[in-house]
Amino acid sequence: MESFNLIIGGKSVATTDCFDVINPADKSVIACCPKASVAQLDEAVAAAKAAFPSWSALTYAERRDHLMQLADAVETRADMLMTMLTKEQGKPKKGFADLGAGFELGGALAWIRATASMALEPETIQDNDLARIELHRKPLGVVGSITPWNYPLLIGIWHIIPALLTGNTVVMKPSEMTPLTVLCFGEIAKDILPAGVLNVVTGKGDIGAAMSAHVDIQKIVFTGSTPTGKAIMKSAAVTLKRLTLELGGNDAGIVLADADIEAIAGKIFATSFINNGQTCAALKRLYVHESVHDELCAALTTIAKSMKTGNGLDEDTDFGPLQNEAQLNIVKALAQDAKERGANFLCGGEVVDETGYFYPITLVNNINDGARLVDEEQFGPILPIIKFSDIEEAIASANRLSVGLGGSVWSTDIEKAQSIGSRLDCGTVWINNHAMVQPDAPFGGVKDSGFGIEFGEAGLKEFTSIQTMQVFKS
């Protein structure tokens, strides 16, 4: 069995304890992951703190050079990283519409390179005979990154690359469900980045809690559940940490009567079931006008019935297993509630393979607001389709939950779709698409979906403080 180590101060560090990492496709143990102690977390934070002065003193161009070298080094290990992703997360290496491990790896490379190409330059607020006033942005110090199990490498890149580019140093804790790909990434990075600039510690909730309260960590970036985000916020208040919290969602899509069903069915399917539905910004509630409801249901069902769910290492697999048993049980419970309410299952809905955490692609209609499947984030391959007749009711339904990550409107009338989209209470609205993110487009949630912005210049600014410099000329 392959061995793994923590990355602290540019070195591989062993631990005295470890925990099992499970392959969700067959429930086998694929590795014993090093379990960091709180003392080792303290060592990682100390290493990051010690590396901060020299790393922050570099220019953007110098830090960019390191990050571009990192992208090149990761690319040379692409196949190894993709295989590890498939083994620990479950997603196929290729998968439906090429949205599997290769998609995550390619996205990580694109994000490193695109983000590393950015910079925050000083801004001149005033320049006259009296004075020149400038706005400068300075790095914060040590940033703590806590990442989830659905996109372990890609979301890690989303956290650490803007932090590093802006001059911060990082201590990173991946989910205990999927720590191995990130540890492999850390091994690659330690040979590219100066010692202590990026540290990777693996463990369970005690490590994340200790990071949130650590006096020498200036900011926490967290992607995960709303309850955990609230716990981090409470803990971080003691040291007045800055926070970026990208929390749970339950994104609604609204399909208008004039939508071109043939044109949009494939997009709706792909953006609902991307990563087997285990995507924060996936389309999770689909409100469809009654005039096109049956046509869209039929089109989606045809696509769904052509999909193969299985082991992600098999080349012809479209969708892999859910990542863990707890998430599988959530999906099963939501499906059971829908059945008890008389919902209609167009396809799927029953576990047929128990060798792994498999659940088939499932479409459900004849369901309404109030059902658990509609009101709770399923984070799995099951989509509720709700028929509506009045657009005002659909907008109210989309907005009635406490979350607000993303939303979408599907129509051939772009102006009308934009008008409706502007009324949705969410951080991102897509027109005739969903769940698409890119490095230069700011992304973040509202309400219980968190706060803070990722991506683009706005995302870079989240990792800096403002220093106003006033230069008087006489």
Catalytic (active-site) positions: 246, 280
CA angle 412, 415, 416 (to 5 degrees): 75
Tokens coding 3: 């061995």
Tokens coding 367: 């369901």
Burial 145-155 (b: 16+ CB within 10 A, else e): bbbbbbbbbbb
Alpha helices in 58-190 (DSSP H): 60-76, 78-89, 101-116, 152-165, 180-190
DSSP state of 97: G
Tokens coding 72: 């090149």
Helix pair angle (78-89, 60-76), 10° resolution: 70
Q: CB of 247 within 8 A of CB of 450?
A: yes
Count CB atoms within 10 A of the CB of residue 130.
Answer: 10
Q: CB of 140 within 8 A of CB of 112?
A: no
Chain centre to alpha carbon of residue 405: 11
Alpha helices in 171-321 (DSSP H): 180-190, 205-213, 226-236, 261-273, 293-305
Contacts of 155 (CB under 8 A, 6+ apart): 147, 148, 223
Chain centre to alpha carbon of residue 298: 31
Q: CB of 407 within 8 A of CB of 398?
A: yes
Distance CA 45, CA 407 (A): 38
Distance CA 391, CA 464 (A): 42
